[in-house]
Structure 1
Amino acid sequence: MKVPHIPSKIKIAIFIAGGLFGIYTALGFYLLPMLVKSKLPALIQQQTGRKASVATVRFDPFSLQLSLQGFALQEPDDRLFVGFDGFFIDINARQSISQAALVIDKVSLNKPVVRIAKGKDGTFNFKDLLKDSNEAEQDDGKVFPINIAKLSMTEGKLDWEDAHFSSPEKETAYPINLVIDNLTTQADKPSNLGLSLELNSGGKLDWQGAISLNPLSSSGHIKLEKVQLPRIRALALQDFVQLDLQGYELFEADYKAAYVNNQFNVNLNQGKFELHDFQVSQNSQDKPLVKMVRFAVQGIGFNLEKHELTVESVAANDADFKAWLNPDGVFSYQPLLPIAKAEEAPGEPVEKTSWSIKVNNIALNNCGLTFEDQTLKKPITITAKPINFQLTNFNNEAGASLPFQLSVGLNETGLIKLDGNTVIEPLSAQIAVDVKDVDLEKFQAYVDKFARLDVINGSLAIDGKLLVAKSAQDKLDIKFTGNTKIADLITRDQLKNKDFVKWENLALNGMDVDLPANQYSAETLIINKPYARVIIKQDKTVNFGDIMIADKNVEKGKQDATVKAAKNTQTDAQKPKFKLGKIQVIDGSSDFSDLSLILPFAAQIKSLDGGASNISSEQKSTIKVDLKGTAYDLAPVDVKGEISPYLGDYDVTVNFTGMPMPLISSYMVQFAGYKVEKGKMSLELNYKVANRELTASNNILIDQFELGEKVENPNAVSLPLELAVALMKDSEGKIKIHVPISGSLEDPKFSVSHILVDALVNSISKVITSPFRALASLIGSEEDLSTIDFAAGDAVLTKSQISKLGDLAKALKSRPVLKLEIKGAAYQEQDWPAVSDDALYDQLKRIKAAEVNKQGGRKIRAEHVVISDQDYRRLMEQLFAEKFPLMVEKSLLGTLRLVGSKADTSTDEFYAVAKQKLSAIIKPEEQRLKNLAAERAQAIANYIVQKGGIANERVFILDTAIDPAREGNGIVSLLSLKAD
């Protein structure tokens, strides 16, 4: 057989092709892997500044399969940054050519390791690998066509370190397994995705779904479970949540996500979120603030594009909440509140999109709350359990009605129920309120803050309807209608350990409260069997002052100023308006005692019934009062009338009948130092005030009044009480008094003793301080019989004073037990000028007697000297020239005359000046004035006895007085009365 001849050119081509094939084979299998292994680390280090290494490089130039083993990229400190055990890629050249795209049959990464670390300054360990923004390549927007049949990662590991928190944290995710089938950059070609990972601290992620790169989108199911809450806080929330969290979570949902046209949208369906064994504490050593076995949110639906959130149910069972105020007043939940951030600088307003939120059912079952107030001296604990809450069809759409029910057990005995509907926007609520059996004793520590009072018993109940709405001015409009009651209240004085205030039942019915309008009304306030213990202490203060504890942190002056300023700035519209139809007191009582008296006094007041009606803040309102009771179980008391508090008008009648006066003996001792031996008192008071004018008809009748023994009391008024009784008693032994009485009649039962004694004391004081006025009234006279007037320097009774003494004598005859005392008086300033002429005349007589006695012969006394007119003028000239030499001079004829005047001894003017000057230099003589006073007293006594017919033994002249105290400038002698 003949072998065909092969042309030399073909041989050459075959040889060249074979050579190229050999070279390609050599390059692919040997040279390229060797170059990659030797040059890749150096190239990486050149580009990144980091050391890199590759253990093995394999490349099949015919199948285009590349594998790398043992790759490692180090950090500047030589720690591993990125590494893997093996990397494999299988490129399908034929398909790549036919599809005009990079087609890869398989990409696998085995045991990759990545270490990501965040430093204290917040920078990451790969910061140096990132390109500068100015050097970044421009993206033309075109997507390079890539098809990967299968992309997988097995046993991946991620090490996370975060040192920028105050407490550095580490976490490892291992293993990480990822499988993606048919990954492509072609449009609308989804790929199947499967991702799972586990955290070393506990927790798993399972992600199954589909993913598309062009456009970027994904759908499927994601599940994250048993992630420990302490790790979530430590790794992500240290700077935001300063709390200790315990428990683990579960979250899973079907989802759809897409990023199209620079818009990101996420849809969730059938979502579920759960917290298990959940606890929140301020730190790991503290008791938990919140404990929940399970908190579940079921049926979560979420649409970011439409801004919709729907939830089938939110439930928590057997949750336990603990809260407290620490001694500094810091609330235990304050750390839960978000940390306030600094306000951002003003800029373009951010448009906020409203969300639609719907929750079909919210339920809290058998939950509990324990609250402790540590700010109190004795910390108080309030328990609320069980708490059951049900809210259905929650919807934040405007006008949506949300029905709810809340039931809270309070301190074991109490129960609070709220049942109603609420609307979120605009905010409104209609709630039926029912509060029962709230034990007031449990709140004793709050009472201790302002009163020294023990609450021994008492329970609070409230029922009604509460309306809440937000007004157009963005203010809350709160209204309440209903009733409230406090039953079986007993309070005890901590100082005396005795009952202080108590009642069997207090009910405020028909309440209508409108807070925005500041209006408050009720139909009736009924108090059944009220009791109060009232004590007046030795210092005159009332025991209520001891009970109340003053606020040491508030200066009274500042407080009063603040209150006054607030009142001044309060407009009529801001003032509260109130109305109470009726107050009814049933079988009231009180223990009253007065320890300020020398003889302590105590009495029981019982059987107080009645009340008041039409109580209102209206300026023209009139309160009707009707009260009946008994004082000392003996004396009936009746109070009736009408009061207009804002107009200041009153028409009130108070009657006491047959009050035994020895029962108020203690007050008489305190006032006058006497006990009351005998007597009964009846009192009728009628007050009428109209247009601020008071007209009172107040009558007191005291029958058979007798003073008892005297009691030493240094504080008693030093007045002659016997005199008052003698002046006031009539022939039948009765004392009738008509006097105005001041005092509060709002609650006469509790001040009855003071009202009666004040009336008596005021009347007695009036009689004692003005006995002659009282004496004059017996004869129908209004004259002041306590003084008798005289002319200056004179002791002669005038006609008017004789008439006054006649009236006095007539009155004294009607009160034979009275005695009259007369105190003659003289007044230097007024009487001495009138009697100084007599003193001058006596001085001239003494000069004349001296002249006579000097001549020899029989001696003569001055009082027996008789001075002629000639001697009077001569002696006056002589004495005037001697005492006032500069005021006289001699005339040409040798006679005396006044200097600078023509008046000489021949004129009356000279002697008038001389007499005036000489009288002025004579010092007042006390004895001459006393003699004048004595003459006046004797003139009064003579008339009373001789003309008035009063027995001499009933009239007494007292020692005279010079310039005694008096009213006005009258020249009077003083009279006084005494009683046997």
Structure 2
Amino acid sequence: MGILKKLLYTFVSLIFLYILFGFFVLPLILKDQITKNLDENLNAKATIEKIEFNPLTFDLKVHNFKLVSLENQELIKAKELEIRLGILKSIDQKHFRIEYILLDELFVNLIQSKDGNINLAQLLKESNQKEEPKVEDNTSKELAFLVAKLDLKNTNFNFTSNINQEPYILNLKDINYTIYDLGTYKNFLSSNNLSFTINKTTDVSIRGAFNINPFKAYGKVEISDLKVKDILDFDKSFFNFSVNDEANINLILNYNVDASKEFLLNLNSELLEINSLDLIQSNNKIANFKKLDIKKFDFDLKEQNINFDEININNLNANMVMDKNGINFANLINSKKEEQNSEIVTNTGISKPWKINIKNINLDANYNFDNISLNSKIDVKSIVLNANDLKIVDSSVYLNKADLKTPNITYIDKQNNLDMKSNNTNLSLNNLSVVNGDLKIENINLIKDNFDFKEKKLNIDINTKKLDSSFKNLEIAKNISFESNDLKLNSLNFKDNKNKLKIDSSNLNVLISNFLIDEKNSINLKNIVLKNLKLHFEDLTNKLSVDTKNININSKDLLITKDSNITLGNLKLAKPTINLLDNKNNLKVDAKNLSLDVNKFKFNKGNISFNSIKLVEPNLGILNTQTNLKIDTKNINLNLKKLVSKENFFRIEKTDLVNPYISITLPKNENVTNNEDKKEEKVVSQTTENNKDINSNENKFRLNLGPVNIKNLTLDFEDKNLPIPFKTTVSKLNGEISEIKNKEQSVSQLEIKGEVDQYGVAKITGLVNPNSLKILTDVNMKFQNIAMKSFTPYTAKFVGRTIKDGKLELDLNYNISDSNLKAKNSIIIKKLELGEKVESPDAISLPLDLAITLLEDSSNVIDINLPVSGNVDDPQFSIGSIVWKAFVNLITKAITSPFSLIGSLFNFSEDEIKSVNFELKESEVTPIQKETLDKIALILSKKEEIAIKFAPSFNEKEEKEKFANQRAQNIKDYLIKEKSINPKQIIILNEIKKSSQNIDLNIEQIK
């Protein structure tokens, strides 16, 4: 028993000594050794106020620990460190267990010097002992451990950087961090809760759980009022801008990390916003927005997906400036002067691409671009952008839909005196993709209310209203193409005030299909349709105006190469209305229902060709506003085949003119007649000069016009420049003109047939040299059964009488060879009846009734041949005046020498019938007198409208007066009694001639 007591006393003593040592001695040893070792190994001085240790529970407390730099600057301090060990559980469960760790009021002061060194990184003293390489002992097993609770309370962290001129200070205050079940024992899941404040304004909270081995973690991060300036001010040398103090970030972020097999990271946000951000550069606010709000953000490292759901940017203002230093937004990040060489590690394996998905983007902004270098400025107000389903996969971009609206766009270029303004612009697009740099957009629609353009140097103004342009399937790659573009424009107004030009258009609608700009910069357009265009053009300088409406153009297969060669498959112009007024040239043109069809047009190096040109049924009116000369056409079908125009060559293979109606009206003009000869002489002279020009250019320019076919042409001609207006119609005119060439020996044939008025016909045939009519002209013109009544206006003007009835036939042949004219004018007039007299200052004073009676044969037919000859090079030569003069001479001769004319009708000579010859002192009618009187009787019997009149005659020196009366009476008795002549046709005058025994006869018309 004594031994047991000794052992008991010994054990109790040891226990007592252990307790005394643990409570009182060990804390002193620990305090001394800890401070000593810290002082020996650190470039700082450590102090501990007190250490408490409970040997029974193995609880350790350290009070008021401080680490002060050699410069007497606090580096680290803590009010209390408490560690509670779980010895019994550690032994029982075979793991190292700490029940509780408390670190209260920890303070860390981190300072970065100007050279970039961190003060705490320099605490450890340099050691002269060489470190022996550590030999890993793989035989030992990893010790499981567990910290039941770790509590970090009231911790403060100060960071000061002196790299910049102004120190950067970051304070993390009131850090409270609690962790439960931290360790590797039984793979416990550790929960943690961290909260702290950044610079008195930002509250940060992190709640979650994690597992150490294998490492897994999940939780939530909440950041409230994080100042953007606090982040950017860390390194001001890196950023060439600053932000305002109020800008902040609010964030609620869920995270999930799993490193059990591969490193997986998933992030998603409940709140992500940046508020009231101002971007400031050189004391100027270059950009700012009220709020950037991302409703939802997802990040998946494994799938390499980044998803944004609804990004809202409110009140964004961007002020871009370009000067000699470049664009302000291009130098927001300062480039390093000394670039470090970095190794570029390439991965030869196939990597999964990153995918960024943005479901909705909403932006309202203002944009301003001030180009100081070019003295120009762009201002865009109230931009509203809505975009849906934006995807970015590596370098590829996909966008489902975007809408951009802005009420005002202004561009001012003071250097070039340009002003541009745009109102209410709406731009929308669908299905955009950018793959390998190639851009594709399925639909683009641009709507604009107004656009104004002013160019002050040239004094040009352009204004548009209600622009609507829609593209389909736009592609920009090696080629630029789109399937269609539908452009609608309510109005376009163009003013060139310098040149006094004005263009106003409305209802413009252009549809372009299958547009392509290929690799050779050639432009291809499958189809262009222009609908319902209304256009007004005005040239005040040249006093010209053009008004059009209902312009409809359809063109197909247009190709424009980079060297400006053009091909066009087909172009159709459908029934526009065009009104042209040329006051300078006194011309007015009105066109309606004009249809133009152009087929296979080519323009190559200045050469032009058409396969065919068709002009279909236009109504065209041409008016000379000075002379009132009017030409109207309708129903014209003009077809030109294979037209070619080169530098020295022009050719049309064939021309067809079908069903044209042409109306020509000559207005009443007092000066026309007086100047007629002068005008005709001028035309002949000008024609001569033109022929000379053609001949002189014969070797330089070749002209080849194929046959011209005319079918069913109708020509109305009206001459109001007469006492009685003249109007006639030539209808069903058909014919052909053979090839026309400008070779010297070229000959063209012509043959034209038609109807004149109701019952007349006309035919023109012949040969001409198209280069010069004076070299060769052999033309025959025949007119048959022409109603003479139609010519009343001309007879009224030139002969002072109307025409009551009669028919006209003309057979005109004009032959010109080497400038010498030989013309035959065969005129046949049947049953001509003159009407009443008409007062006309141009009428000739001749007894026409007698002339007609004398000219008519027994069938009441006047057959006149008027040959004309002359030299067309004579400046005084005029075909019209020569023919008219010959006709007047013929009438004059009929009146003044009637026996010559009437004798030719009966094959008598004038001497045979102009007098009855008697011997002196003879009055009886002998066979000698009978021969003359029988011929006179034949004439009178055939022409009952005329009479012969004569006066008794005798030779006063040789005869008595009684012979005169006997001779006259015997002539009368013979003709009446022997030849049965109507007594009315025998007129004996009361006067008696005394000069000759022969009786001279005269002719008079019976009234």
Task: Report the TM-score range of the alignment, normalised by the length of the smaller protein.
Answer: 0.5 to 0.7
Write the distance in 2 (CA, Å) between the matches of 1:636 and 1:278. Answer: 77
Write the distance in 1 (CA, Å) between the matches of 2:319 and 2:665. Answer: 62
The 1:429–1:243 alpha-carbon spacing in structure 2 relative to 1, beyond 3 Å, is farther
* Match in the other structure for 1:484: 487
User: Which SS does the other structure have where 1:306 is aligned?
Assistant: coil
The 1:491–1:188 alpha-carbon spacing in structure 2 relative to 1, beyond 3 Å, is same
Q: Which has the higher helix share?
A: 1
- Displacement, 1:257? 1.1
Write the distance in 2 (CA, Å) between the matches of 1:419 and 1:94. Answer: 73
Please tell me whether residue 453 in structure 1 is matched to residue 443 in structure 2: no
CA RMSD in angstroms, aligned pairs only: 5.5
- Displacement, 1:453? 1.4
Asked if structure 1 preserves the Cα contact closer than 8 Å seen for 2:474 and 2:482, the reply is yes
The 1:237–1:226 alpha-carbon spacing in structure 2 relative to 1, beyond 3 Å, is farther
* Match in the other structure for 2:967: none
Question: For 1:543-942, what aligned pairs fall within 5 Å after superposition?
Answer: 581-582=571-572, 607=590, 614=598, 618=602, 621-622=610-611, 624=613, 633=625, 644=644, 651=652, 693-695=702-704, 778=819
Write the distance in 2 (CA, Å) between the matches of 1:581 and 1:478. Answer: 22
User: Which SS does the other structure have where 1:254 is aligned?
Assistant: strand
- Displacement, 1:388? 4.5
Write the distance in 1 (CA, Å) between the matches of 2:530 and 2:204. Answer: 66
Q: Percent identical across equivalent pairs?
A: 14
Deviates more, 1:334-343 or 1:431-440: 334-343
* Match in the other structure for 1:232: 231
Asked if structure 2 preserves the Cα contact closer than 8 Å seen for 1:420 and 1:429, the reply is no
The 1:489–1:267 alpha-carbon spacing in structure 2 relative to 1, beyond 3 Å, is closer
User: Which SS does the other structure have where 1:440 is aligned?
Assistant: strand
Asked if structure 2 preserves the Cα contact closer than 8 Å seen for 1:296 and 1:316, the reply is yes
Asked if structure 2 preserves the Cα contact closer than 8 Å seen for 1:291 and 1:321, the reply is yes
Write the distance in 1 (CA, Å) between the matches of 2:449 and 2:280. Answer: 31
* Match in the other structure for 1:156: 155
TM-score w.r.t. the length of structure 1 is 0.55
Please tell me whether residue 89 in structure 1 is matched to residue 98 in structure 2: no
Please tell me whether residue 512 in structure 1 is matched to residue 514 in structure 2: yes
User: Which SS does the other structure have where 1:239 is aligned?
Assistant: coil
Deviates more, 1:393-402 or 1:477-486: 393-402
Write the distance in 2 (CA, Å) between the matches of 1:588 and 1:342. Answer: 74
Q: Which of 78, 83, 98 is residue 72 of structure 2 equivalent to?
A: 78
- Displacement, 1:524? 3.5
Asked if structure 2 preserves the Cα contact closer than 8 Å seen for 1:384 and 1:408, the reply is no
Cα displacement string for residues 666-719 of structure 1 (whole angstroms, at most 9, x for unaligned residues): xxxxxxxxxx9998999999999999843489xxxxxxxxxxxxxxxxxxxxxx
* Match in the other structure for 2:27: 33
Cα displacement string for residues 604-658 of structure 1 (whole angstroms, at most 9, x for unaligned residues): 8765776965487756654748696758646779998675568975549999999
Write the distance in 2 (CA, Å) between the matches of 1:632 and 1:681. Answer: 22
Please tell me whether residue 434 in structure 1 is matched to residue 445 in structure 2: yes
- Displacement, 1:147? 1.8
The 1:110–1:506 alpha-carbon spacing in structure 2 relative to 1, beyond 3 Å, is same
Q: Report the residue type matching 1:308 in the other structure.
A: N
- Displacement, 1:89? 1.0
Write the distance in 1 (CA, Å) between the matches of 2:698 and 2:389. Answer: 62
Deviates more, 1:428-437 or 1:249-258: 428-437
Write the distance in 2 (CA, Å) between the matches of 1:332 and 1:812. Answer: 83
Write the distance in 2 (CA, Å) between the matches of 1:286 and 1:682. Answer: 80
The 1:576–1:813 alpha-carbon spacing in structure 2 relative to 1, beyond 3 Å, is closer
Write the distance in 2 (CA, Å) between the matches of 1:57 and 1:525. Answer: 97
Cα displacement string for residues 465-520 of structure 1 (whole angstroms, at most 9, x for unaligned residues): 321457xxx74653141332444333334547x55444345443344312347312
Write the distance in 2 (CA, Å) between the matches of 1:305 and 1:325. Answer: 42
Write the distance in 2 (CA, Å) between the matches of 1:682 and 1:522. Answer: 50
* Match in the other structure for 1:418: 428
Q: Which has the higher contact order (CA 8 A, sep 6+)?
A: 1
Deviates more, 1:208-217 or 1:580-589: 580-589
* Match in the other structure for 1:51: 45
- Displacement, 1:108? 0.4
* Match in the other structure for 2:254: 254
Q: Report the residue type matching 1:283 in the other structure.
A: Q
Write the distance in 2 (CA, Å) between the matches of 1:657 and 1:116. Answer: 106
* Match in the other structure for 2:360: 362
TM-score w.r.t. the length of structure 2 is 0.53
Please tell me whether residue 119 in structure 1 is matched to residue 116 in structure 2: no
Please tell me whether residue 531 in structure 1 is matched to residue 537 in structure 2: yes
Asked if structure 2 preserves the Cα contact closer than 8 Å seen for 1:416 and 1:436, the reply is yes
Please tell me whether residue 389 in structure 1 is matched to residue 383 in structure 2: no
Q: Report the residue type matching 1:465 in the other structure.
A: F
* Match in the other structure for 2:804: none
Write the distance in 2 (CA, Å) between the matches of 1:140 and 1:659. Answer: 126
Write the distance in 2 (CA, Å) between the matches of 1:158 and 1:587. Answer: 86
Asked if structure 2 preserves the Cα contact closer than 8 Å seen for 1:414 and 1:435, the reply is no
Write the distance in 1 (CA, Å) between the matches of 2:210 and 2:873. Answer: 130
* Match in the other structure for 2:847: none
Write the distance in 2 (CA, Å) between the matches of 1:407 and 1:10. Answer: 99
Write the distance in 2 (CA, Å) between the matches of 1:583 and 1:166. Answer: 76
Structure 2: state its 5+ residue gaps.
409-421, 544-560, 604-608, 670-678, 707-740, 744-771, 773-816, 822-869, 878-1007
- Displacement, 1:123? 3.2
The 1:10–1:659 alpha-carbon spacing in structure 2 relative to 1, beyond 3 Å, is farther
Asked if structure 2 preserves the Cα contact closer than 8 Å seen for 1:533 and 1:591, the reply is no
Asked if structure 2 preserves the Cα contact closer than 8 Å seen for 1:108 and 1:151, the reply is yes
The 1:191–1:488 alpha-carbon spacing in structure 2 relative to 1, beyond 3 Å, is closer
Write the distance in 2 (CA, Å) between the matches of 1:338 and 1:582. Answer: 61
* Match in the other structure for 2:961: none
Write the distance in 2 (CA, Å) between the matches of 1:151 and 1:468. Answer: 63
Cα displacement string for residues 223-255 of structure 1 (whole angstroms, at most 9, x for unaligned residues): 222212222322378626745366322222332
* Match in the other structure for 2:405: 408
* Match in the other structure for 1:178: 177
Please tell me whether residue 316 in structure 1 is matched to residue 318 in structure 2: no
How many residues are treated as equivalent by the alignment? 646
Write the distance in 2 (CA, Å) between the matches of 1:243 and 1:602. Answer: 71
* Match in the other structure for 1:279: 277
The 1:400–1:20 alpha-carbon spacing in structure 2 relative to 1, beyond 3 Å, is same
Q: Report the residue type matching 1:159 in the other structure.
A: N
The 1:360–1:92 alpha-carbon spacing in structure 2 relative to 1, beyond 3 Å, is same
Write the distance in 2 (CA, Å) between the matches of 1:603 and 1:344. Answer: 82
Q: Report the residue type matching 2:703 in the other structure.
A: L
Write the distance in 2 (CA, Å) between the matches of 1:618 and 1:124. Answer: 79
* Match in the other structure for 1:964: none
User: Which SS does the other structure have where 1:529 is aligned?
Assistant: strand
Asked if structure 2 preserves the Cα contact closer than 8 Å seen for 1:649 and 1:691, the reply is no
- Displacement, 1:346? 5.4
The 1:587–1:25 alpha-carbon spacing in structure 2 relative to 1, beyond 3 Å, is same
Q: Report the residue type matching 1:514 in the other structure.
A: L
Structure 1: state its 5+ residue gaps.
538-569, 594-600, 663-675, 698-737, 741-762, 764-775, 781-809, 818-980
- Displacement, 1:62? 2.6
Write the distance in 2 (CA, Å) between the matches of 1:487 and 1:274. Answer: 46
Q: Report the residue type matching 1:481 in the other structure.
A: S
Deviates more, 1:248-257 or 1:16-25: 16-25
Asked if structure 2 preserves the Cα contact closer than 8 Å seen for 1:519 and 1:576, the reply is no
The 1:492–1:62 alpha-carbon spacing in structure 2 relative to 1, beyond 3 Å, is same
Question: For 1:279-358, what aligned pairs fall within 5 Å after superposition?
Answer: 279-283=277-281, 285-287=283-285, 289-298=287-296, 300-311=297-308, 313-316=309-312, 318-324=314-320, 326=322, 330-331=326-327, 333-335=329-331, 347-349=345-347, 351=349, 353-355=351-353, 357=355
Please tell me whether residue 191 in structure 1 is matched to residue 201 in structure 2: no
The 1:267–1:104 alpha-carbon spacing in structure 2 relative to 1, beyond 3 Å, is same
Write the distance in 1 (CA, Å) between the matches of 2:497 and 2:192. Answer: 77
Cα displacement string for residues 190-230 of structure 1 (whole angstroms, at most 9, x for unaligned residues): 11111111111522221111122222221222222221222
Q: Report the residue type matching 1:61 in the other structure.
A: P
Cα displacement string for residues 768-808 of structure 1 (whole angstroms, at most 9, x for unaligned residues): xxxxxxxx96569xxxxxxxxxxxxxxxxxxxxxxxxxxxx
* Higher Rg: 2
